[in-house]
Amino acid sequence: MAVVLLDASRPDLIPAGAVALLSDTVAVTEEVHPSLLWQLPSYELVGLVPDDGSRTLVSSDREHPAVLERLRWGDTVIEGSTLPGGKLLRAVELMDRLRRLGPWEKLQTHDSLRRYLLEEVYELLDSIDHGTPEELCSELGDLLLQVLFHARIAADASVGSFDIDDVAQSFITKVSYRTPGVLGGEHADLDRQIDEWEAAKAAERENTSVLDGIVTTQPALALVQKLFERLSGVGFPVAAVSPSLYRVDIPFRKHAVGSVEDDLRRRAIALMNQVRDAEGAAAEDDVALRDENTWRKYLGLSYVEEPAGDEPEVVDGPGEVELAVVVDGPDDSPGDKGAIARKKKGKNHKVKGVKAPEVPGMVVVEKWSAEGE
């Protein structure tokens, strides 16, 4: 006789070659989904009735003892082709069972899983750098667990609930919207794809902040990089970016005075606050910040005023000041020299010929930055 192997992710999908074999009474293994059993004319459950090999065996488990026995007898195997992603459905089902039955899984929340999610990301990055393909596959599986777990927790929420299908739909909607040309077969141009992606993201952020979606708890270097990427895409002036954000100096000392990570993050957040202030002021005037000159106006930097019918007029800031560079004594590393207006032990040296508008602290530094670069 024959063995019909079903796809466990689609239990009611019958291989075309097996349709005729299911018109009579068949033997089934216990894991076959009820949705198929209801459609069968007649069946016998293996284990309750001895399997003498006289009936077609239907199973979704290739490793089931009854299946293995039939294969030893030389039965013909009939199975359909599998599609990529079929095992994801089994993973979803497994996560659901663990959430319902596992004592540890029942207690977990989005917050309690934070440390595990972070650990898995770093382990994945390490496997990309140093691991084998098998290790990379394993770490991706660990990260998938986190996605499935968080989605399953969200499904239990009384307010704002969503499930793994909503997560998948979010991915489908976002990627389809941002890559219409490639997915629609219109082109296969890299630069055009990037432009379409960025334009779609900008449209999603329309009438909101350019900083929306930037996570300030990410590593400081990644935060600065993301911040620069966002600002450079909307015409933000380089003159408004502190030179202290362009580099990281780590003193070679036995006892560190402070956290380089925290210091860089603080500077990045200061720039973000400056951006939000400019956006707020522009919003009050119903002005869109889409070019450098407009940004300069609302940041307090000099900008070009263009009255109708007149020559463009350069509007300066409220004044100019000389900048002081603090050079520390021999206890500091070379990387500590050149800090701007920092209140610490050392000698103040005037930098002649370098001036900046009298604007808030970050902007004063930025003016120096642009001329220094």
Whichever domain contains 101, its CATH number is 1.10.287.1080
Note whether 108 and 57 are same-domain residues.
no
Residue 254 pLDDT grade (very low, low, confident, very high; cuts 50, 70, 90): confident
Residue 4 pLDDT grade (very low, low, confident, very high; cuts 50, 70, 90): very high
Residue 315 sits at φ, ψ, to 5 deg, of -100, 120
Note whether 235 and 309 are same-domain residues.
yes
Structural domain includes residue 9: yes
pLDDT above 90: residue 133: yes
Q: What angle do CA 160, 165, 168 make, to 5 degrees?
A: 105
Structural domain includes residue 169: no
Beta bridge partner(s), residue 314: 304
pLDDT at position 72: 92
Note whether 39 and 16 are same-domain residues.
yes
**Reported pTM:** 0.58
Percentage of the chain exceeding pLDDT 90: 54
Read off the tokens for 275: 């951006």
Note whether 228 and 312 are same-domain residues.
yes
DSSP string, 102-126: -HHHHH--TTTTHHHHHHHHHHHHH
Which of 59, 79, 99 lies at the terminal end of a domain, its last residue?
A: 79
Note whether 154 and 29 are same-domain residues.
no
Note whether 362 and 232 are same-domain residues.
yes
Q: Which domain holds residue 49?
A: 2-79
From the list 36, 146, 135, the residue with the least C-alpha distance to 91 is 146
Note whether 226 and 280 are same-domain residues.
yes
How large is the greatest C-alpha to C-alpha distance in the chain, in angstroms? 100
Structural domain includes residue 47: yes
What amino acid is encoded at 156 in this protein?
D
Structural domain includes residue 314: yes
Read off the tokens for 20: 């005729």
pLDDT above 80: residue 66: yes
Q: What pLDDT digit, counting tens, does each position of 144-174 carry?
A: 999 999 999 999 999 999 999 999 999 999 9
Note whether 363 and 273 are same-domain residues.
yes
Beta bridge partner(s), residue 78: 4
Note whether 265 and 366 are same-domain residues.
yes
Higher pLDDT, 323 or 286: 286
- CA dist 156 and 368 (Å) reads 54
Residue 304 sits at φ, ψ, to 5 deg, of -100, 120
Residue 281 pLDDT grade (very low, low, confident, very high; cuts 50, 70, 90): very high
Higher pLDDT, 167 or 207: 167
Structural domain includes residue 205: no
pLDDT at position 312: 60
Structural domain includes residue 178: no
- CA dist 41 and 167 (Å) reads 38
When divided into structural domains, the chain yields a total of 3
Residue 343 pLDDT grade (very low, low, confident, very high; cuts 50, 70, 90): very low
Give helix 190-204 / helix 164-178 axis angle, nearest 10°. Answer: 120
Note whether 362 and 230 are same-domain residues.
yes
Tally of CB atoms within 10 A around 266: 11
pLDDT at position 247: 86
pLDDT at position 89: 87
pLDDT at position 335: 42
pLDDT above 50: residue 350: no
- CA dist 171 and 49 (Å) reads 47
Structural domain includes residue 171: no
Q: What pLDDT digit, counting tens, does each position of 72-123 carry?
A: 999 999 998 777 888 898 899 999 999 999 999 999 999 999 999 989 999 9
Which of 37, 62, 79 lies at the terminal end of a domain, its last residue?
A: 79
Q: How many residues does the chain have?
A: 373
Structural domain includes residue 168: no
pLDDT at position 153: 97
From the list 49, 8, 2, 7, the residue with the least C-alpha distance to 22 is 2
Note whether 52 and 114 are same-domain residues.
no
pLDDT at position 316: 61
The arithmetic mean of pLDDT across residues 305-329, rounded, is 52
- CA dist 204 and 261 (Å) reads 31
From the list 180, 362, 172, 354, the residue with the least C-alpha distance to 278 is 362
Note whether 232 and 309 are same-domain residues.
yes
Going by the DSSP 8-state scheme, the letter that residue 16 receives in this structure is G
Beta bridge partner(s), residue 320: 357
- CA dist 303 and 295 (Å) reads 9
Which of 50, 79, 108 lies at the terminal end of a domain, its last residue?
A: 79
